[in-house]
């Protein structure tokens, strides 16, 4: 017996069916009428897959941009420090005062850019987390509805299935709100 089954068997009988979820019940009944050929809830692809992927890509791009800034900052620092070495040192780089000033100005601008990227990264990570949660909750919804559909296919208990749909939809609504 699965975790879903244990929980649903305990809570579904006391659930009062709600009209607003009738479309889901009708989907399952349509599946039955058509010889169980639709199997609507077997997929784990959701409407949040693309937004989650977009958010994940944005996070990766922002991390790469931050890394590029860090590499530039390290390079600038190394060049300036090497210009202060003894001219006989193998890493010595000759820089004029103007070149040092230009590098220092570039350092400041690059550091500002890195800070901006870090702020954007925080927002992107938050969006990725939100979309990930929404996607996860929708996958759970499909799995629970698929369980109800399969149980109904075996036992024909329309009342349990109808109550179960309401319970699942209410549960999922709470989970969606919890993740926001």
Q: What is the mean pLDDT of the chain?
A: 94
Identify the pLDDT of residue 7.
Answer: 81
Q: Give the per-residue pLDDT at 8.
A: 86
Q: How many domains does the chain have?
A: 1
Phi and psi (nearest 5°) for 6? Answer: -60, -50
Residue 16, C-beta contacts closer than 8 angstroms, at least 6 positions apart? 163, 166
Q: Would the CA dihedral through 70, 72, 74, 76 be positive or negative?
A: negative
User: Where does residue 21 fall: left (phi above 0), alpha (psi -120 to 50 degrees), or beta otherwise?
Assistant: alpha
What value, to the nearest 5°, has the Cα angle with vertex 176 and ends 120 and 134?
50
Give residue 34's pLDDT band: very low, low, confident or very high (50, 70, 90): very high
- The predicted-structure confidence for 48-107, as pLDDT tens digits, reads as follows 999 999 999 999 999 999 999 999 999 999 999 999 999 999 999 999 999 999 999 999
End-to-end CA distance of the chain: 32
Which residues constitute the domain of residue 23? Answer: 3-178
The pTM of this model reads 0.81
**What pLDDT score does 180 carry?**
60
């Amino acid at each position: 017996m699965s975790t879903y089954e244990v929980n649903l068997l305990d809570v579904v009988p006391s659930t009062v069916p709600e009209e607003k979820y009738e479309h889901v019940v009708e989907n399952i009944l349509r599946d039955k009428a058509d010889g169980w050929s639709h199997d609507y809830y077997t997929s784990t692809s959701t409407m949040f897959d693309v937004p989650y992927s977009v958010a994940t890509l944005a996070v990766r791009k922002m991390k790469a941009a931050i890394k590029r800034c860090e590499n530039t900052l390290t390079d600038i620092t190394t060049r300036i420090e090497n210009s202060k070495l003894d001219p006989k040192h193998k890493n010595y780089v000759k820089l004029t005062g103007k070149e040092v000033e230009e590098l220092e100005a570039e350092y400041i601008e690059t550091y500002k850019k890195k800070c901006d990227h870090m702020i954007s990264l925080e927002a992107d990570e938050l969006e990725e987390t939100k979309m990930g949660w929404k996607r996860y909750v929708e996958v759970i919804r499909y799995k629970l509805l698929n369980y109800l559909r399969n149980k109904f296919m075996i036992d024909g208990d329309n009342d349990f299935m109808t109550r179960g749909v309401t319970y699942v939809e209410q549960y999922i609504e709470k989970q969606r709100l919890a993740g926001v």
